Amino acid sequence: MEKNHDTVIVLDFGAQYSQLIARRVRELGVYSQIVPFNTSAEEIKKMAPKGIIFSGGPASVSQALSPRPDKEIFNLNIPILGICYGLQVMSLLLGGHVTCPEKKEYGIANINIIKASKLLKDVSNLSQVWMSHGDSVDKIPEGFSTTANTPNCPYTVIEDEKRNFYGVQFHPEVVHSVEGQKMLSNFVLDICKAKADWNMGNFINEAVESIRKEVGDGQVLCGLSGGVDSSVAAVLIHKAIGDKLVCVFVNNGMLRKNEAQNVLDLFGKHFNMRLQYADAEDMFLTALKGKTDPEDKRKTIGKLFVDTFYNEARKCGEITHLAQGTLYPDIVESKSPFGGPTSTIKSHHNVGGLPEDLKWKLLEPLKELFKDEVRELGRELGLPEELVDRHPFPGPGLGVRCIGEVTKERLDTLRDVDAIFIEEIRNAGLYHEIWQALADLLPVKSVGVQGDERTYREVCTLRAVTSQDAMTADWYRLPYDVMQKCASRICNEVKGVNRVLYDITSKPPATIEWE
């Protein structure tokens, strides 16, 4: 890809925070890309970055097989910032020493600034930082001086201004490091002198160019689910190659109310895309008949989805690429500790388990981005706000929210309940405060009374959670009046339901979805 902006690369030593570092750099308006720790100095030179950040990582430099960068990187005359493990490995390779002290340091610390420093310019003394390390540098390399320390860590910030090498023992990229972004800005903008001219507009231009080059005369197939990631990927690819993109939308009968029509209208009519619609409702519901075990249901849905997808693909002519809305966090989940990011396992998982011997090449134009960056990209591409800001929705759809057996009738009931719940949350202005809101239909009936008559109907539960990443979640304290409105509307408007419960379990011990 022809780059017309400055880049700062993040050399990834297996840290859980590598992507966060890249993202913080992008927040400064400078493009940032993550590359594996063993990328050769030659390759890095070709990328011509304005700066290099060594990420943290779970290893100890004392381990023989711990990840090391190509030593030639230090001769490229490019500024380097080492973070945590990055600082340690840099110190070791440049002649310093790292020890494994008995006292580890995790959590908040305050840095004592002892010397004027380019990296710490305008950072206040005793500024709060986030520490998380076992090893510590106990001898810094020649040419370096210490500019800040903490009671537990004598070499918290070290610098060699002459060579433009910097190291911090803490994690400036996390929010608990209160002035961490200031430090990253000092490194990226002042020390590396990178120009802050990157934005989503540039991203689109470059991605379009790169997609055109990659696809050439080929044809791309994209499974469109109506969710944020696949929608943004499809619109971006469509912008690049127009009718060489074919989208397939599978209606498995477990979609939300009006979902199929909305997707057809938006992508087929508004964006004028080639869109193949597979109405597979009967096939899915027949296969699910009598099944109540959650894993059995999930597997059945996943397999049928892939079969339908492949069937539809046959009707599209010669396909060369399969497009997916894989995001960076998806890749992180499947990468090996030191092997750098690999995308295959999770990407296949995205469409429910594509075969390993997939004959198409993967096209994943969002794989460097985070969810909120994808949302911003979606807005820039003209996708409507209701779509861009949607809560996550699971691949197996309402099938895993219809607890017990999945039937058309129960799905219709659940669709109505879900639509009321989401509408009331939106009406109350709470939709964006909530990570995810969902309704489940339980395999339980209860007695009620309506219009002086006894009823014996199904029970539904409403669940709303807050979360950062869906790994953990807390139940959302939905105001009583909103709960009351939901319960009253659901019992009045949805035929099969006479009782509404609110789920107050966090994750763990529960998961977000019930199945």
Q: How far apart are CA 311 and CA 18, in angstroms?
A: 39
Q: Is 434 in the site for ligand XMP (CB under 6 A)?
A: no
Q: How far apart are CA 490 and CA 457, in angstroms?
A: 12
Cis peptide before 294 (omega within 30 of 0): no
Our answer to whether residue 173 is catalytic in this structure is: yes
Closer to ligand XMP by CB, 6 or 513: give it.
513
Tokens representing 130 are: 């986030």
Q: Is 394 in the site for ligand XMP (CB under 6 A)?
A: yes
Residue 373 CB, nearest distance to ligand XMP (Å)? 18
Q: Which stretch binds ligand XMP (CB under 6 A): 100-108, 133-141, 206-214, 505-513?
A: 505-513
Q: Is 300 in the site for ligand XMP (CB under 6 A)?
A: no
Q: Is 292 in the site for ligand XMP (CB under 6 A)?
A: no
Residue 249 CB, nearest distance to ligand XMP (Å)? 15
Residue of 105, 153, 171, 373 marked catalytic: 171
Q: Which stretch binds ligand XMP (CB under 6 A): 63-71, 75-83, 139-147, 506-514?
A: 506-514
Q: Which stretch binds ligand XMP (CB under 6 A): 32-40, 315-323, 389-397, 421-429?
A: 389-397
Q: Which of 280, 396, 415, 425 binds ligand XMP (CB under 6 A)?
A: 396
Q: Which of 136, 413, 436, 461 binds ligand XMP (CB under 6 A)?
A: 436
Tokens representing 454 are: 């006894």
Q: Is 437 in the site for ligand XMP (CB under 6 A)?
A: no
Residue 301 CB, nearest distance to ligand XMP (Å)? 8
| Residue 230: φ, ψ to 5° | -70, -30
Residue 370 has what DSSP assignment? Answer: -
How many C-beta neighbours within 10 Å does residue 349 have? 16
Q: Which of 83, 395, 422, 424 binds ligand XMP (CB under 6 A)?
A: 395
For 472, the 3-state DSSP assignment is coil
Cβ burial, residue 445 (10 Å; 0-12/13-18/19+) = middle
Please provide the distance, in angstroms rounded to a whole number, between the alpha carbons at the two ends of the chain: 43
Residue 296 CB, nearest distance to ligand XMP (Å)? 14
Residues 6+ apart with CB under 8 A from 384: 266
Pattern 158-187, binding to ligand XMP, x per CB under 6 A? ------------------------------
Q: How far apart are CA 313 and CA 316, in angstroms?
A: 5
Closer to ligand XMP by CB, 205 or 505: give it.
505
Cis peptide before 508 (omega within 30 of 0): yes
Residue 88 CB, nearest distance to ligand XMP (Å)? 34
Pattern 339-378, binding to ligand XMP, x per CB under 6 A? ----------------------------------------
Question: Contacts with ligand XMP: how many residues (CB under 6 A)?
Answer: 10
Tokens representing 370 are: 């985070």
Closer to ligand XMP by CB, 392 or 496: give it.
392
Q: Which stretch binds ligand XMP (CB under 6 A): 73-81, 253-261, 391-399, 480-488?
A: 391-399
Q: Is 470 in the site for ligand XMP (CB under 6 A)?
A: yes
Q: How far apart are CA 53 and CA 185, in angstroms?
A: 12
Q: Are 137 and 177 in contact (CB under 8 A)?
A: no
Query: Is the sign of the CA dihedral 174, 180, 181, 184 positive or negative?
Result: negative
Closer to ligand XMP by CB, 39 or 436: give it.
436
Query: Is the sign of the CA dihedral 278, 282, 283, 284 positive or negative?
Result: positive
Residues 6+ apart with CB under 8 A from 335: 14, 341, 342
How many C-beta neighbours within 10 Å does residue 169 have? 32
The tokens 């001219």 sit on which residue? 197
Residue 225 CB, nearest distance to ligand XMP (Å)? 8
Q: Is 513 in the site for ligand XMP (CB under 6 A)?
A: yes
Closer to ligand XMP by CB, 25 or 250: give it.
250
How many C-beta neighbours within 10 Å does residue 492 have? 10
Q: How far apart are CA 35 and CA 25, in angstroms?
A: 14
Q: Which stretch binds ligand XMP (CB under 6 A): 125-133, 312-320, 327-335, 507-515?
A: 507-515
How many C-beta neighbours within 10 Å does residue 233 have? 31
Residue 140 CB, nearest distance to ligand XMP (Å)? 44
Q: Are 229 and 329 in contact (CB under 8 A)?
A: no
The tokens 């820039």 sit on which residue? 380
Q: How far apart are CA 99 and CA 300, in angstroms?
A: 53
Residue 507 CB, nearest distance to ligand XMP (Å)? 5
Residue 395 CB, nearest distance to ligand XMP (Å)? 3
Q: Which of 218, 392, 404, 496 binds ligand XMP (CB under 6 A)?
A: 392
Number of residues assigned to the chain: 515
Q: Which stretch binds ligand XMP (CB under 6 A): 74-82, 193-201, 448-456, 504-512?
A: 504-512
Residue 27 CB, nearest distance to ligand XMP (Å)? 25
Q: Is 511 in the site for ligand XMP (CB under 6 A)?
A: yes
Inter-CA distances, 113 with 98, 136, 175, Å = 22, 18, 20
Tokens representing 505 are: 């379990």
Residue of 105, 159, 173, 179 marked catalytic: 173
Q: Is 226 in the site for ligand XMP (CB under 6 A)?
A: no
Q: Are 374 and 327 in contact (CB under 8 A)?
A: yes
Q: Which stretch binds ligand XMP (CB under 6 A): 157-165, 334-342, 393-401, 424-432?
A: 393-401
Q: Give contact residues for ligand XMP (rule: CB under 6 A).
A: 392, 394-396, 436, 470, 507, 511-513
Residues designated as active site: 84, 171, 173
